[in-house]
Each structure stands twice: as C-alpha cells, then as structure tokens.
C-alpha cells in the first residue's frame, strides 16, 4: 500500500512538472550583436505622438528591436529558440515607419514598403526587402 502511494505521488509530481511553462525569456537572439546599442533602448518608450512622426530614420529606441528581428539565432540550442521570433520583434517597434520597414524586410515583401511615409526610408526598404 505504501509503495503504491509513493508511486502515485511520483506520477502526480512528474505530470505537474510537464505542464509547467518554460521559464526562458523571449529576448534571446544574438545579444552580442544587438546590445551594442545604448541602454536607452531598454529604458522608457516615447508616447504615441513621437511614434507617429516620420523622421526618415530608425529611432535609437527601435534599433535594438529591429536588430533582434533581423538577426535570428544561428545555432539554436532547443526547440523554443529554433522558432523565428522576427515578427514578434517587429511588433515591439513603436514608430510606424520603422515597423513597416521591419515587416517588409523580415518578410521580404516590397509591397509593405508602400506604407512608409518617409521617402528615404522607403527607398532603403525597397532595396533590402527584395
């Protein structure tokens, strides 16, 4: 009876552990490449009015997320890291032009460059989205 109870507890424990979510962070792509930007990229984010302005450049705060989107992990160590998180990082970009640029380049779709207001960024987007 005691052995049966211990076996039952062991099975229950192992089944509970298998359902626990992994504790890995999503922010795993090549940090040596992307963390060369300033620490301001991880600090406060601008408001909507700043994000809506088209400056023709990728903002400092959005460069890190663009870098993470364009540099997927080369040698993934597990199944989670093997997945492509590029589109996720594009969604973290606040500036609308920069976000459109990211999606166009990551998905290799030059049609998405049409959503960019800035002519300079649109030209760069068309070259890189091919």
pLDDT tens digits along 41-88:
555 555 555 555 666 778 777 888 999 898 877 777 777 767 778 899
Token couple for 74: 């080369």
Question: Tens of pLDDT along 100-119?
Answer: 999 999 999 999 999 898 89
Question: Phi-psi bin for 9: left (phi > 0), alpha (psi -120 to 50), beta?
Answer: alpha
State residue 27's pLDDT score. Answer: 47
pTM for this predicted structure: 0.60
Q: What length does the chain have?
A: 130
Q: Which residue has the higher pLDDT, 1 or 21?
A: 1
d(CA 89, CA 28): 11
Q: Which residue has the higher pLDDT, 112 or 18?
A: 112
Q: Who contacts 121 (Cβ-Cβ below 8 Å, separation ≥6)?
A: 54, 56, 57, 58, 97, 98, 101
Q: Which residue has the higher pLDDT, 2 or 18?
A: 2
């Amino acid at each position: 009876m005691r052995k049966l109870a211990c076996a039952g507890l062991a099975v229950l424990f192992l089944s509970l552990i298998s359902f626990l979510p992994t504790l890995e962070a999503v922010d795993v792509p090549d940090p040596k490449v992307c963390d060369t930007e300033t620490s301001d990229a991880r600090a406060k984010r601008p408001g909507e009015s700043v994000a809506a302005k088209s400056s023709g450049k990728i903002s400092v705060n959005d460069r890190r997320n663009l870098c993470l989107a364009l540099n997927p992990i080369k040698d993934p160590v597990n199944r989670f890291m093997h997945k492509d998180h590029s589109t996720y990082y594009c969604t973290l970009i606040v500036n609308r032009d920069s976000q459109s640029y990211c999606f166009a380049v990551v998905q290799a779709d030059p049609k998405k460059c049409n959503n960019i207001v800035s002519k300079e960024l649109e030209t760069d987007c068309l070259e890189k989205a091919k």
